[in-house]
């Protein structure tokens, strides 16, 4: 029992050490990022996995809330299609720590270069910011002309 209490106290103080510097998400003003990541399809019968590069630019309100917009470029690993996502980005950092967890959501359109089609896109996610980096795990839903695709997304971003 004493070891459990001691371990709990050590973990609490470790968390306080992580919070010493604070997060850039709690600074008021312009924020931007460049994000690289990939998507793994979880839709039955679809094996379209992709990689992409996006950038988002917006305003941080100083309380952990960020609103912005972004665009990017994605390509299917099989070479079947290329896409250009255009989206609104909302992000909320939960605590002002050096390792700051967050929830976010991107909503917009994904334009397909090859066929000229477009699809609605929504991607809620969770992650954490550490210094100038963000790490994210999300779920992406795309629905377009006769198709619906669901994917798990993993990404890393550089914030500025």
Between 108 and 14, where is the model more confident?
108
| 134 vs 56: CA distance, rounded Å | 13
Q: Give residue 78's pLDDT band: very low, low, confident or very high (50, 70, 90).
A: confident
> Residue 70: pLDDT above 60?
yes
DSSP string, 61-130: ESSSEEEEEEEEEEEETTSS-EEEEEEEEEEEE-S-SSEEEEEEEEEEEEEETTT--EEEEEEEEEEEEE
pLDDT at res. 22? 74
Of 24-28, 52-56, 77-81, 85-89, which gets the smallest average pLDDT? 77-81
Handedness of CA 97, 99, 101, 105 (dihedral sign): positive
pLDDT at res. 3? 55
Please tell me the pTM assigned to this model: 0.84
Q: Give residue 130's pLDDT band: very low, low, confident or very high (50, 70, 90).
A: very high
Could you list the residue range(s) of the whole structural domain that residue 110 is in? 2-159
Instruction: Pick the closest to residue 58 from 49, 48, 68 (CA basis).
Output: 68
The structural domain count of the chain equals 1
Let me know if 43 is exposed, middle or buried by CB neighbors in 10 A (0-12, 13-18, 19+). Answer: middle
Q: What is the mean pLDDT of residues 105-120?
A: 92
Please work out, in degrees rounded to the nearest 5, the angle formed at the alpha carbon of residue 21 by the alpha carbons of 99 and 69.
Answer: 60
Contact 140, 117 (CB under 8 A): no
Q: Give residue 5's pLDDT band: very low, low, confident or very high (50, 70, 90).
A: very low
Question: Which CATH number is 26's domain given?
Answer: 2.40.160.20
Q: What is the mean pLDDT of residues 92-110?
A: 96
Q: Record the tokens describing residue 18, joined without a space.
A: 């992580």
């Amino acid at each position: 029992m004493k070891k459990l209490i001691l371990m709990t106290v050590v973990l609490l103080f470790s968390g306080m050490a992580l919070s010493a510097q604070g997060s850039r998400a709690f600074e008021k003003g312009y924020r931007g990022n460049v994000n690289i990541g990939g998507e793994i399809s979880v839709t039955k019968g679809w094996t379209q996995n992709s990689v992409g590069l996006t950038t988002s630019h917006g305003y941080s309100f100083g309380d952990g809330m960020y609103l912005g917009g972004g665009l990017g470029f994605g390509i299917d690993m099989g070479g079947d299609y290329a896409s250009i996502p255009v989206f609104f980005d909302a992000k909320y950092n939960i605590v002002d720590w050096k390792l700051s967890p967050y929830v976010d959501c991107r909503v917009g359109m994904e334009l397909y270069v090859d066929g000229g089609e477009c699809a609605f896109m929504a991607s809620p996610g969770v992650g954490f910011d550490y210094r100038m980096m963000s790490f994210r795990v999300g779920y992406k839903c795309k629905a377009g002309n006769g198709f619906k695709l669901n994917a798990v997304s993993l990404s890393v971003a550089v914030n500025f």
